[in-house]
Chain A
Amino acid sequence: MTYHTETLDHLLDLEPLHAPRANPGYTVIHPLHDAPEAKCSADRLGPMKLTPGCRLALVAVRFYLVAIMVMGAYRVVTLMGTIKH
């Protein structure tokens, strides 16, 4: 690809792809119009291998969710008047 000296005319010179050009340039394609690229896929990887830190984080999430559910159940029970203060 040829790199041109950046004059004001050249900077504003935007041409559609199909216009014949004397000099090559850089093609800019919108993502929606571009050819699909190979992405990272988990299809053949199986279950994720978790480090001890990750396992600990997931255990912490479970404890957190249990605590929230217990608080919620307590709130429902007190609202029903089953537990009076």
Chain B
Amino acid sequence: MANPIDASKNAPGIQPGSGDFLSRTRVVKSPWMVRVLTFLMVFGPGLIVMEADNDAGAVSTYTQAGAQYGLKLLWLLIILLPVTYFCQEMVVRLGIATGEGHAAMIYQRFGKWWGRFSLFDLQLVNFFTLVTEFAGISLAFAAMGVSPWISVPAACAGLVTMVTTGSYLRWERITILLCLLDTAWLVLGWKGGFGAAQVARNGLVPSMPDGGLTFDYIFLVIATVGTTIAPWQLFFQQSCVADKKLRFKDLDASRWDTFIGAVFTIVVAGGMMLVGAILFRNKVAYTDPAQLATVLGPHYGRFFKSAILMLMVNASILGTTAVSLSSAWAWAEVKGWDHSLQLKFKQAPGFYLTYIGATMAAAGVVLIPRAPLQVIIVGVQVLAGVMLPSALVFLQIMLNDKELLGDPFVNRPWNNRVNWTIIALMFALSAVLAAQVLLPGLFPAPAA
């Protein structure tokens, strides 16, 4: 390993002995308490990166999947669990080993051309994603009778306040709480009355819908895969791990954090599908999540409708904070600015202004009358499809960089076999999705 990185630059730190229950330095008597406390201290980035991916777009995709095909796509979520875990575990390893963010590593190891490509594409796809998040907030609050001119600026102000407190732990704990609120999807899904045996069978046994294999089905499968694994996640978690100053000895705890996050996210996604499946069972057409809430409200009560709408808002808030931070961290890393949530605004103005600027600009686009939101939503799909395979290739190559990482952190041969398989699959699916958007004439028209 080369000379140590000057970690004090980005985190002046808190004096040992101060802090709350989970951040105060402690002496414990048993090795297992060491493991438990270490895990609790490390826990956070994995859950956040996974659950923040259940954003506005995910709510739309998963509820649509349930509304169109009932429980027939639950098995896909189970398959995606190890895929998303393997991708994010590599990110964790790279972040802990280097203490640097993903964008900075691409610049350092692949050169300026690939670095600029990755950074530019990340910023663009993230910005469009932020627009869709604020569109989700606007849609949900409009269904509750709140004007977008109130809901969108209020959400923007809340998101800026949440991040600019100068405390990584404060931001992390608020975000973890928001993640845990998503367990309400399980309650809503349970209220749909699907039996546990039926859910388990559809989750574990792949099945085809009654209409067989159609292009609509294939594209929804691809959209589901694309929703579950997003390029910003690679950048976010590595930067988050670096900002939290996770150590080599934290690797195991961080892997557990990531695994628990993956399981939690897949389970919540399943809950979203169950809620959408209520429409399928009652043969009601699906338009969007707000319409879903409005249709189900009279049958399941006002709480049900309000819960879906508030969970849409929660999903958008989670998505916005994570995506904006991935942009801010990446930009600041490459520019060489100070970039840590532990720093006050005055200590890292470039970093915070990037976050604030991205958030406010996206909120502003949503408020433009007749803004081309549908074009933006489609654009997100294409750009994510462009970026994800290349981001995975960079990640995979860097995790085989023995000269940089040394033996402890590089991929094992079985890692490489699994990861290259995942990457090849992502290439194929992303190409089909991009082709479906850019060359629609090649494919049969969607069913009416």
Residues in A lying within 8 Å of B, measured CB to CB: 3-4, 6, 10-11, 13-18, 21, 23-34, 36-45, 47-51, 54, 57-58, 60-61, 64-65, 67-68, 71-72, 74-75, 85
Residues in B lying within 8 Å of A, measured CB to CB: 1-8, 11, 13-17, 19, 22-31, 33-34, 37-38, 41-42, 97-100, 105, 108-111, 168-169, 244-248, 250, 342, 382, 385-386, 389-390, 393, 396-397, 400-401, 403-406, 409, 423, 427, 431, 434-435, 437-439, 441
Q: Are A26 and B1 in contact (CB under 8 A)?
A: no
Docked CA distance A58–B113 (Å): 12
Q: Are B404 and A40 in contact (CB under 8 A)?
A: yes
CB contacts (< 8 Å) of A38 on chain B: these are: 1, 3-5
- Interface hub of A28, A37, A57 (most chain B Cβ within 10 A): A28
| Contact of A74 with B438 at beta-carbon distance under 8 Å, contacts A39-B5, A48-B109 already known | yes
Contact of A68 among B110, B111, B386, B400 (CB under 8 A): B386
Q: Are A75 and B26 in contact (CB under 8 A)?
A: no
| Contact of A10 with B30 at beta-carbon distance under 8 Å, contacts A33-B16, A39-B99 already known | yes
- Within the complex, what minimum Cβ distance (angstroms) separates A44 from chain B? 6
21 contacts between A and B (CB under 8 A): A6-B29, A10-B29, A10-B30, A11-B29, A16-B25, A17-B24, A18-B17, A25-B27, A26-B28, A30-B19, A30-B25, A32-B23, A34-B247, A36-B245, A38-B4, A42-B404, A44-B3, A58-B393, A64-B390, A72-B438, A85-B441
- Within the complex, what minimum Cβ distance (angstroms) separates A67 from chain B? 7
Contact of B27 among A3, A6, A27, A64 (CB under 8 A): A27
- Within the complex, what minimum Cβ distance (angstroms) separates B95 from chain A? 10
Q: Are B25 and A61 in contact (CB under 8 A)?
A: no
Q: Are A34 and B29 in contact (CB under 8 A)?
A: no
